[in-house]
Every structure is written in structure tokens, then in C-alpha cells.
Structure 1
């Protein structure tokens, strides 16, 4: 099988391994380890100039010594998917070093009958998974030959279908050698995103956006998938990774019913710019960590 090229390197992040390594190192150094070891993280997938510093707060919670496998769940931005899809590649290229796909886990997931396969064009067009690859490579660099990745492209699925995938992935989430990366930006605000919700009691528009996002973040921290779905129905907040988040919440819900105890905490929030006028636009970013008690 062909390797997946680092198609967004040089535009969304540096294609120079040395420069990229230095950037990631600087961001990680400025983030504190306060909520680890992470079993799952939520982190953004925009260009690193916008969200690189925010993403570091999630990746700083990872304990690389225990991780043998990294599941990366990203939303599909370009193709319509009724379910979830796996990669046909054997390796993902990054400017730091190549990441090996776990073909054995892919085969296990395929046997469930619930997963399709991305073609290489779909895989290489999609940035929601790729933007996490350099960070995964960086935090795992001391163990670069001792781990694999499982990229999963998540389609626009109902809460019932999220529950099916959550049930499938729950045993993998329960395994302390696995790390789940949930790829999501938060509110995409502005006319170009066809979303201009504004609560003027908050003052400036960017404060209304922050309140809206943090309301959703607070609900995610309760680990209640039904409450998160109700929030999305009420506000239609343009959280592009809502379905990967939903799958994670359903996996957590499945494990909680079996006696597992988990907690999630958001550690950083940022916006690409501050909106003051209806002609402005911004994208929000949030980073958080799920730990097992």
C-alpha cells in the first residue's frame, strides 16, 4: 500500500523538520502537565500558527512511555460518510518521521462490519487527522519505533450510531496502552460559516462566543453524551469534531456502565481572532484531557 504524504506540510505547518521540532518543543515547554496521564485528549486541527500553542496543553498530558497505540478520530470535512472509515495506507509521512499504521487493529475493526475504507485522495485531502501527526510524532519521539497509529475518519452520524462506534471502541479506550486523540475545533463564527449566534448580554461578540463554547465544554466535562447532544440541538454550535467527541463520550459511557471511573478536564481555550462586528469571523480552539481514576 502507498504511504500517505504530508500534504498540508508547508502550508498549515512547517515542512522543515528542524523548524517544526523547535516550534512544537517551545509550545510543549510552555504548557504544564496538570491532568495526566491522558487516556484521551481533545485538541484542535487548524493551522499551527492559530492553534499550535493551544494544542500543546492537551499533548503535554500524554505519558509516552505507556503508549503503544494512538487512535486518531477526525471529522470528515470533504466527503459524506455514513459511518467511520479506516486508512488503506501503511505509513503516514511527517516532517519529523513516518508513523506506522496498525494494520492488525484495522483488520479487527473491519471485522465488525461497521467500518469502510478511505481512498488515498480522501485521506490526503483531510486535514483533521494530519494536523495531529506532528504532535503525536513529537511527544512519542523517544519511543518512535515502539508505537502504531489508528486513524479513523468519522462521518456525520446520528447519536445512535455514535453509540455503536463508542461500544466498539470502548475496549480499546479501556486499555492503558492506548491513547485516543479526538480532533475538533470549536465555534466557527461568522457569515462565511453561516453561523452568527450572538447573546448581546455578554458584551462583545467574542465574549458571547466564549460563553457558548465554554457552556459546551462544561457539558463535555460531565461526560454525558445525551446532554452534549441536547446542547448541540439547542445552539447548533459549529463544533466540527462533534461526532468524534460524541463517539468518545459514548465509549466513556459504555465503560462507566461497567464500573470504570473517568474524569475529563479542559485545560486551554483560544480564538483565532476576537469578533466585535457581524462582518468579523473566528474559529475557537479547546484542549482537554481524559484520565482514568
Structure 2
């Protein structure tokens, strides 16, 4: 950006996460070091579905990793879960050192019916600045049709937390490296628009110089979120709970119903998967398995059915759209796999509330 472009202040530092460089660095180090690769699930366990086997056990970082999905709540809530995504990031992709990080987040406060790019020259973090790649941002602004993109006003940029909450982690994981970032705010777009924006960003995802970070929390449950979806058992019909709710003997606790709901969403996003384990029992995928195109369709159908309050559903949709574009146009196979799931609290009654946090990686195969 030009020398007159504003700096984006770390407006949530000191409240959502520590503004102390030494304290924040110690926290991030601690969470990253606590990640245990042996604890990564070998399958997405969904109570109402047959577990879908994924690939064999992992070592970290993930070879071929090109993108992650991670949560964006206050670090005391989601910082540990986010570490599982950031431990997946390699120093290089396809033998090329990562130079640029695309950061896609949902808009929580500003109505947006398209995608927006940052006008700022720098994103400040307590651990050091992240330079915004103005040249790439302007290049993206010129892509597609007129009006597809807009520039964020500084006030919109600084009010939004979904991208900022990943900035310190990006600065930490790429410590000592000269990287730039491309922040993209994703508005309330349709599934067709998700595919369209994904096609515009696909060439950047294909470039090993680049890495993608997608920001999303999962279920926001409780009356304060106007979402009280509940299934007493996996094969039961869903309902919305009211203040008169009293669980019956044998009914699943609310937090388990939320877990099953989120598991179904993670199952939809995950690919490639197959409906039965390999004969060897190794967890390897049989045949071609589910594609990125199918994953995008399944996730859209899941959201339509459940209305789950996945706040980053559109950034996830754009990522899946980019992967589907590379799959159909370039024959590029990929994998999306979840490595961690947590809840901010365990809901037992209608009065309770929670937010779910999930971390995933995408790698090229």
C-alpha cells in the first residue's frame, strides 16, 4: 500500500488477548507445545453416521499443507484449539518458502454482500507488524467483474475481530520470516458467490508462495444466539428448546447434541472420505473418495438443514470453492481434515450457552 495508507491497530489486544509481547509469546508457545499429534483423530466420529476413515496417522507439521481453518474467539477460550491448526503449517510448501498469507474472515458487525480488502499498510500485533501486500490486494481488486470487491474502511477493519484474532498466531508461526498478508473480509454471500470468489482466488491457492488461513467458529448455542437446536438422540428429530425444557431419562445432554451437530458439519467439510474402512484397517481412503466439489455441496446442504450458527461458513465456502476449482480445472486433488474440536462450556440447560471451536488443515495430494 502507499506510504499514506493507515496502520491497522491491534484493537482487541488487552481485552481478547494479551497486549504484553512477552506474556502473549509465552501463551502461544505453551499452546503450540501442548499439541499432541497422537491425539489427532483418525476419523470424523459422527454418532448418527458411520465413521468415515481418513488418511493414515499424521506427523506435524503437515507435508503439503496449503490452508488451515481455525477459531477466532478470545484466546482464553479458543487459543488452545487454534494451536492445533497452526502446528500443521510447514515452513515451506512444495519446497518453496511461504511468502504470503491470505487471511479470510467473516464480517460480524458490518453488512457486506461481497468480499472486501484491507486499505491498511500494516496489521499491528503485540509480537510485531504484519505488512499487508498492497500489490496483491490491488491485483485481486481488479479481478472478476466491477463491483465484486470493495475496500474496507479503517473503522470496519479495526472493529472486526475474525482476522485480527489470527494475526498474532501468524506472526508467531512465521517468526523471523519476511511474510506479507492479504486480509479478505467475506460478506453474507450465496453459495454460488462462494464458488465464484473461490475461482478468483484459486490461482493464488495453487501458488506455493501462498498460504491460506480461514477464520471460523462453529456452533453458537443458546438463547443469546437465538439458536437452541437439540436432538435427544442421533436418530431423533431436531427441535428448538425453550425455557420449559426438561430432559427425559436417556436423552443426550445438550452439549452432546451440539457435538453431534458440529460433527455432522465437520464430516460434510472433510474430504476425501469413503463409506467403509479399507480392508487393511489402516485408515487409508479407498478409491477416489469424496471430492472438494462434493464437500462444498454437502456443507451447503447441511447448513440449509440445520441452520447451524457457523459464523465462518462463507469463508469456508470460498475455500472449498477454490479447492473445487483447482480440482475441476487443474486436476489438483486435496484433503481437508479436522484435527481438534472443543466447546467453551458444556451446556446442560436452556439457560446455558457455548461456542464451539474446530481446527482443520487442507493439503494437496
**Do they fold alike, i.e. is TM over 0.5?**
yes
Structure 2 partner of 1:43: 70
Among 12, 16, 25, which residue is 1:12 paired with? 16
Distance 2:77 2:89 in 1: 22
* Partner SS, residue 163 of structure 2: helix
Report the Cα offset of residue 142 of structure 1.
2.7
Report the Cα offset of residue 2 of structure 1.
1.1
Distance 2:107 2:153 in 1: 13
Structure 1 partner of 2:119: 88
Distance 2:67 2:149 in 1: 21
| Residues 1:124 and 2:170 are matched in the alignment | no
Report the Cα offset of residue 59 of structure 1.
0.4
| Residues 1:59 and 2:86 are matched in the alignment | yes
Structure 1 partner of 2:173: 139
Distance 2:227 2:65 in 1: 33
| Residues 1:292 and 2:292 are matched in the alignment | no
Distance 2:115 2:84 in 1: 27
| Residues 1:262 and 2:334 are matched in the alignment | yes
Unaligned regions of 5+ residues in structure 1, if any?
none
| Residues 1:220 and 2:269 are matched in the alignment | yes
Report the Cα offset of residue 37 of structure 1.
4.1
Aligned residues: 291
Among 226, 249, 270, which residue is 1:194 paired with? 226
| Residues 1:205 and 2:254 are matched in the alignment | yes
Among 3, 25, 32, which residue is 1:28 paired with? 32
Instruction: Report the TM-score, using the length of structure 1 for normalisation.
Output: 0.97
Distance 1:90 1:37 in 2: 30
Distance 1:274 1:88 in 2: 40
Distance 1:125 1:85 in 2: 14
**Residues 36/285 of structure 1: CA separation in 2 closer, same or farther (3 Å cut):** farther
Structure 2 partner of 1:237: 308
Deviates more, 1:241-250 or 1:174-183: 174-183
| Residues 1:78 and 2:109 are matched in the alignment | yes
Distance 1:194 1:231 in 2: 19
Larger helix fraction of residues: 1
| Residues 1:172 and 2:204 are matched in the alignment | yes
Whether the 8 Å CA contact 1:43–1:184 is kept in 2: the answer is yes
Q: CA-atom RMSD, angstroms?
A: 1.0
Unaligned regions of 5+ residues in structure 2, if any?
38-59, 235-251, 272-291
* Partner SS, residue 230 of structure 2: coil
Q: Which has the larger radius of gyration?
A: 2
Whether the 8 Å CA contact 1:12–1:48 is kept in 2: the answer is yes
- For residues 90-105 of structure 1, the aligned pairs below 5 Å read 90-105=121-136
Dislocated runs of 4+, deviation >4 Å: none
Distance 2:260 2:69 in 1: 19
Distance 1:199 1:12 in 2: 32
Distance 1:283 1:221 in 2: 21
Structure 2 partner of 1:183: 215
Report the Cα offset of residue 154 of structure 1.
0.3
Deviations 1:26-67 (Å, cap 9, x if unpaired)?
Answer: 111111426444201000000000010000000001113421
Instruction: Report the TM-score, using the length of structure 2 for normalisation.
Output: 0.78
Whether the 8 Å CA contact 2:70–2:215 is kept in 1: the answer is yes
Report the Cα offset of residue 278 of structure 1.
0.8
Deviations 1:61-105 (Å, cap 9, x if unpaired)?
Answer: 111342110000000000111100000000010000000000111
